[in-house]
Every structure is written in structure tokens, then in C-alpha cells.
Amino acid sequence: MSVRQSLLAILDQGPCYGYQLRHEFDRRTGSTWPLNVGQIYNTLERLERDGLVQRGDTDERGHVYWRITDAGSAEVAQWLSSPVVRTPATRDELAIKLAVAATLPGVDVAGALQAQREASLRQLDALQSAVHPGTAADGPEELAWSLVRDSMIFAAEAEVRWLDHAERLLAQHPQHAMDLELATERPKRGRPATRTPAIA
């Protein structure tokens, strides 16, 4: 999730100060990814350094209003019109954990998998039973919240399906046959070559 581009997109609607940006971000994401004010100001300072925003007027309460620059507006337009590319280099902690566990002697991989399935199903249940915390039914804030929540539901459902697949795959291989002992060959210094799964 890009906090940087999200804050820029909000500033493209008009000048805001830090707490106001946090509130606007929460309204547009259903408070699903709460940001602290320090994170917002750090992001604003980086955006200012990059010439995408500038400090504007200060009100009587000391709030500094940040304004987007033309370059910032151009970046927002580019971000909104471009697809999100999910790179194969993104590390999935769960997949890595199970892959490592499956190759270690004496690890109860089935138990680890079952514990994860129970946690994933609890998370899925909580997401499915969640209701919009606001009062304006069928308004733009509820729509934004629903989009985020539904995305999380689909991701949780996909995780449960993948766990089912992993269980079937592991059942085809006896645990002792999958154990990997430490390699006796000494690795060479330097970074290993990056390998990504081939995608047809």
C-alpha cells in the first residue's frame, strides 16, 4: 500500500494539515490501515524534498497546510492510471515459513499448517461479520470501507485455499523424505543469483 501516493492524491483535492490528512486517509480506507501522525509528517517531508508538495499557510492554531505542486499532481495522475504490479520478489512470510518447516527434520508441519488454518479462518470470519463503523449507510465512506474489507476477505479466502493445497501437496510426500540436512559444500562469497519462479 502506498501511503505516499495516497496522501498526494488527497492533497490533490486541496491543502491539508497533518491530522487532517490522517482523518481523510482514514475516511477513504475505512480506518483499515491506521497511520500515526509521525508517519504522515515523515512522508510529507520526503514529498517536499522530492518537490511534490510544499508548505503553505499556517492557521491561527499553528496548523501548517501542505499544498501539492504540479509535479505532485502529475504523479497522482500517473499512479491512478497505472496498474498495481505485484512482483514475484515480494516475500510471503507464510509460504516461506511452511517451505522451511517442510524441509526441517522433526518439525510438525501438519500441526503448523492446522494452526495457521484456524487463525486464517478466524480472521476470515471476523472480516465477514464486520460492519461499517460509520453512521452514513450507502455513502462514499461505507463504499470505501467495503472495497477494502472485501479485498481482505478475498485474500483470506485465497489463503485458506492455498493452505488446503499445501496440505494435499505435503500429504503426497513422507516427511522423512523431505528433510534437508545442512549442505556440506561451502557456499562461495557474494550474493546468490536471484531466482524467481517461471510464470507462463
pTM of the model: 0.71
Q: Which three cell numbers stand for residue 96?
A: 516461506
pLDDT at 98: 87
Q: Which fold has domain 3-81?
A: Arc Repressor Mutant, subunit A (1.10.10)
pLDDT at 195: 59
Averages of pLDDT over runs of 10 residues in the chain (200 residues) are: 87 94 86 84 96 95 95 94 76 84 83 93 94 76 89 94 92 71 75 58
pLDDT, residue 54, reads 97
Question: DSSP letter string over the chain?
Answer: --HHHHHHHHHTTS-B-HHHHHHHHHHHHTTSS---HHHHHHHHHHHHHTTSEEEEEE-TT-PEEEEE-HHHHHHHHHHHHSPPP--TTS--HHHHHHHHHHTSTT--HHHHHHHHHHHHHHHHHHHHH----SS-TTSHHHHHHHHHHHHHHHHHHHHHHHHHHHHHHHHTS-HHHH--PPPSSPPPSSPPPP------
Domain definitions of the chain by residue range: 3-81, 93-178
Per-residue model confidence (pLDDT) at position 136:
67
